[in-house]
Amino acid sequence: MARTYQPPHRRWSFLATGGLVLVVIAFAYPFIWMSLAAFKSNTEIFNPNQLWPTTWDLEPAQRLLSGEWFPFWRVFFNSLFIALTQSLLAVIITSLAGYVFANSKSWFTRILFFLSLVVIVIPVQSLAVSLFVWVNDLYLIDRLWGVILPGAVSGLGVIWFTQIFRQVPATLREAAQLDGASEWRVWWMLLPALLPALISFGLIHFVLAWHEHLLAMLILQSPEQQTLPVAISSLYSSSMRFPYAALMAGSVLTLIPTVILFAVCFRRFKSALADVIMH
C-alpha cells in the first residue's frame, strides 16, 4: 500500500511544533520543580531524581505567610507599591523625554539622547555609592521613595518612546499646534493612541522593579521596609535545618504578580513590540 504523500511544508510544520514543545518543556520544568518543591522536605529537595513530593507538607508555606521569619505581607505590599509607583513614574518621565527627542533636532537634545544611551551600558553597581549619597541627602534612607525615585529614570524607556513617537505622523502634531495646543497638550493628546506602547513599557519596567535587589539592599534597612525578593534571598544563608520548602513557596509567590500582569497585558505588549521591530 502506497504511503500518503505529505507536502514538505507540512513535514516542516510538524518538526517545528515538536521542537517548540521541547523548548516549552525545558523552560517550564524549573518552574514546575520549584512549585512542587514548596511541599517537600529538605532531603527530597536536595535529591535531583525526585520530582513529586512523598507527602504534601503545607507547614513551611504557612510559617512563611504567618510572618515567622519576616513580615511577609508587609514586605509583599512594599514590593508591589514600589514596582507599580516606579513603573507609573517611569512611563510619564520617559514618554516625555521620548516625545522631545523624537521631535527636536537641536544639538543639545542629541547630546542628551546620547547620554541616555550611556546610562544603559553603565552598570548600576558602579553608581551605588553616588546613589546612596544622593538618597541620603534627600533624607530618604529606609524609605520606599528612596528606591522608587532613582529607578524611575530609564535609558531603555527613553529609547523605546523616542522610537514610538517617531512613528507618529508629523501632520497630527502640526494640526494640534495650529489649533493652539502647546507641546504639553500635544503630548497628552497623543497618549491614548500610544496606549499599547505605554502598557508594554510599564510591564517591562514593573518586572525589572519587582526583582530589583541592589537599591533595596542599599536603601532599605529595617525588616518592615524590605522588598520581597531581598527578604527571601536573605533566608538562603540560613542553616540546613531551615525548611527550604518555605523558600520555594516564597519564590513561587514572587512570580504571581508578574505572571498576572503579563497575562492581562500580553496582547497589547505583543502589538507594541511588533510595531517597534517593524519600524
pLDDT in tens, 228-247: 888 888 777 665 567 888 88
Higher pLDDT, 4 or 163: 163
205 touches 90 (CB < 8 A): yes
| pLDDT (tens digit per residue) in 265-279 | 777 666 655 555 555
Question: Which stretches within 38-144 are classed as H helix?
Answer: 42-45, 59-65, 72-103, 107-121, 128-137
Contacts of 235 (CB under 8 A, 6+ apart): 69, 70, 242, 246, 247, 250
| Residue that is written with C-alpha cell 538562603 in the block | 236
Mean pLDDT score, 13-23 = 79
pTM exceeding 0.85: no
Give residue 92's Cα distance to chain centre.
17
May I ask the CATH class of domain 61-278?
Answer: mainly alpha
Cell of 169: 505622523
Cell of 278: 517593524
25 touches 208 (CB < 8 A): no
Cell of 217: 539592599
Residues 196 and 185: their CA atoms lie apart, in Å, by 20
Residues 156 and 116: their CA atoms lie apart, in Å, by 8
Mean pLDDT score, 91-100 = 90
